[in-house]
Amino acid sequence: MDLISLLFPGLKKFEYVDEIPILEDNRAPWKILDKNHNKSLNSQLMGIKSENDESKYIGISLDETKGPIFIHPTAIIDPFVRIEGPTYVGENVHIRHCAYLRSGCWISRDSVVGLCTEIKNSLLLPGSKAPHFNYVGDSILGFKVNLGAGTKLSNVRNDKREIIVTIQDGIRINSGLKKFGSLIGDKVEIGCNTVTNPGTIIQVDSMIIPNSTIKGWN
């Protein structure tokens, strides 16, 4: 099953292909989240050129100890933000007050990382928004996804075992990852205070009601 085409159809018509990482495995797109994979998000980020003008940002923390940080000149970075490399912040992105971008973030153009939101080892495709008190761990958000306030994408099982993924036909696949959050398809709207369990997949154009707990294929 070609999960990339099914979940992220916006990739086919996106004009700025050099601004997004390569999703190499159509059948298992979560492999980009595995730092040991040769085309992992982390390894692709290590190839970016460090580019940021710290003099234009007031009260933010940029830490390139683990890798480079690229911030597009049009991106807006509010005060009291912390960004750890390797990280890419694209054109017209807005990183709001007190956000925390941990190592391994790729924030594509026109996206929003909001107040007190934490992103870790994740890809936000263009126009996606995690705008209010969100946690996004080891996940991929499709084009124009919107996370309601307080939504959390959980990425670790309570028993710390490897995460099982259920795909459309009901087949269960061992992802081989102990840290894997969610694959959120293009234009998904998730209601406030929702929690997705590790390995959750949500199909294109879905709408999740507030205060939900989501798992498996949706």
Q: Single out the residue of 128, 122, 167, 168 nearest to residue 147, CA to CA.
A: 128
72 included as an active-site residue: no
Look at the alpha carbons of 141, 207, 190, 130 in this order and tell me if their dihedral is positive or negative: positive
CB atoms within 10 A of CB 13: 7
Residue of 72, 94, 97, 132 marked active site: 132
The SS3 assignment for 29 reads: helix
- Going 42 to 48 to 54 to 58, the CA torsion angle's sign is negative
Cβ neighbours of 92 (radius 10 Å): 15
Which are the catalytic amino acids? 132
